[in-house]
Amino acid sequence: MPHESESAAARDARMVAAVLEWFAQAGRDLPWRGGSATPWGVLVSEIMLQQTPVVRVEPVWREWMARWPAPVDLAAAEQADAVRAWGRLGYPRRAKRLWECAGALVDRHGGVVPRTYEELVALPGIGDYTAAAVVAFAHGGRSVVLDTNVRRVIGRAWHGRALPAAHQTVGERAHAASLVPRDDAGAAEWAVASMELGALVCTARVARCDECPLARECAWLAQGRPGLDLAPRRTQPWHGTDRQVRGRVMALLRAASSPVNVTGHATLEDVEPGQLDRCLEGLLADGLIRLDDADRGTYTL
DNA sequence: TAGCCGTGGCA
DNA sequence: TTGCCAAGGCT
């Protein structure tokens, strides 16, 4: 092996070790961490945490765990109850898919959360990240957990890039995989520690480099932290969009205990009829709402 | 494969 | 105040 490769590998190992050491003293004590939660609890937390901050997830997660402590419990519930209990976490399709996931766990896996990436990624609502996360955090197994936090940490510290590209590349994934410790426990620790570093220190907007265990080695910091302001992020439109109207319809139906005449409802008077109809069609197609009475125009979850 | 899908807090 | 963005997945 060439001397350069040995040196790079040693440097990688040193940086990984520094992140693990940092996490041991700075990591948060979250209820789904540290082996105190069941694999099902970990899975539920991962779905809830998709694009949603920890502080908003935690109370809802506790309610779900008390109400549906195992997949079989959620599978026996009504989809509408799952969507309602999802509350305002956002992306209610996640609630529907999690409910479907519980059913699939009962049907295909005897009500048990499987241990392999391949089995997990085949379940509703579980993609590459979540499957890898459940392998690591629910079962202590080795996987390549590559979320936006880990991508940002690696991109900055190793490559001097302010923010990750919109999509993963083969090369990026290969490099991330090469950094994962060989042993199961070390791999799982690296996953949670590198994610935590991205969540608490190496954040997207205000990086706290003075607190970072990688500050001495960080390529991005060494270059003067370039490229943060001109970051080409696609701005998410919101006001007046279908997305907003869908959210308002869902909020209305979540709060209702009986079917609601949505198109005639006072709180939606400002919405163009055409847009409201389009959103209702979309929600019906997504299986998030049901038409109760076509003549009266009433809907339910 | 871009585009789409909620929500709320913060700089 | 408002744009940014937070542990993605699906089509």
How far apart (Å, rounded) are the C-alpha atoms in residues A106 and A70?
10
Tokens of A271: 């919405």
Q: pLDDT > 70: what percent of chain A?
A: 95
One DSSP character per residue, A37-57 reads: S-HHHHHHHHHHTTTS-HHHH
Beta bridge partners of A299: A260, A291
Pairing mode of beta strands A260-261, A290-293: unpaired
Q: Is the CB atom of residue A172 positioned under 7 angstroms from any atom of strand C?
A: no
pLDDT per position as a tens digit, A103-137: 999 999 999 999 999 999 999 999 999 999 999 99
The model's confidence at residue A237, banded by pLDDT at 50, 70 and 90, is low
The model's confidence at residue A3, banded by pLDDT at 50, 70 and 90, is low
CA of A258 to C1' of B1 (A): 41
CA of A52 to C1' of B8 (A): 10
Q: pLDDT > 90: what percent of chain A?
A: 91
Q: Is the CB atom of residue A263 positioned under 7 angstroms from any atom of strand C?
A: no
Please state which CATH class domain A3-28+145-222 belongs to. mainly alpha
Segment among A84-98, A233-247, A263-277, A280-294 with least mean pLDDT: A233-247
Closest residue, CA to C1' of C3: A235
How far apart (Å, rounded) are the C-alpha atoms in residues A113 and A132?
13
Q: What pLDDT was estimated at residue A6?
A: 65
Burial of A40 (0-12, 13-18, 19+ CB in 10 A): buried
Nearest nucleotide over every DNA/RNA strand to the A52 CA, judged by C1': C6
Residue A184's contacts (CB-CB under 8 Å, 6 or more residues apart) are A140, A141, A142
Q: Which of A4, A21, A46, A58 is catalytic?
A: A46
Q: Is the CB atom of residue A203 positioned under 7 angstroms from any atom of strand C?
A: yes
pLDDT per position as a tens digit, A256-269: 999 999 999 999 99
- As a whole number, mean pLDDT of residues A288-293 equals 97
In this predicted structure, the answer to whether residue A230 has a pLDDT above a threshold of 60 is no
Average pLDDT over all residues of chain A = 94
Angle of the A170-179 helix axis to the A3-26 helix axis, nearest 10: 70
Spans of all domains in chain A: 3-28+145-222, 39-139, 242-300
Q: Is the CB atom of residue A204 positioned under 7 angstroms from any atom of strand C?
A: yes
pLDDT per position as a tens digit, A166-195: 889 999 999 999 999 999 999 999 999 999
Backbone region of residue A238 per phi and psi (left: phi > 0; alpha: psi in -120 to 50; beta: other values): alpha
Nearest nucleotide over every DNA/RNA strand to the A56 CA, judged by C1': B8
Beta bridge partners of A300: A290
How far apart (Å, rounded) are the C-alpha atoms in residues A3 and A79?
59
Element (H, E) at A299: strand A298-300
Please state which CATH class domain A39-139 belongs to. mainly alpha
How far apart (Å, rounded) are the C-alpha atoms in residues A153 and A81?
38
Angle of the A39-48 helix axis to the A54-67 helix axis, nearest 10: 140
The model's confidence at residue A67, banded by pLDDT at 50, 70 and 90, is very high
Whether A46 is catalytic is yes
Cβ-contact A43, A134 below 8 angstroms? yes
In this predicted structure, the answer to whether residue A214 has a pLDDT above a threshold of 60 is yes
Q: What pLDDT was estimated at residue A227?
A: 85
Number of alpha carbons in the 13 Å side-chain half-sphere of residue A128: 8
- As a whole number, mean pLDDT of residues A38-66 equals 98
pLDDT per position as a tens digit, A4-37: 656 899 999 999 999 999 999 999 999 999 889 9
Number of alpha carbons in the 13 Å side-chain half-sphere of residue A208: 10
Residue A159's contacts (CB-CB under 8 Å, 6 or more residues apart) are A219, A220
pLDDT per position as a tens digit, A68-109: 999 999 999 999 999 999 999 999 999 999 999 999 999 999
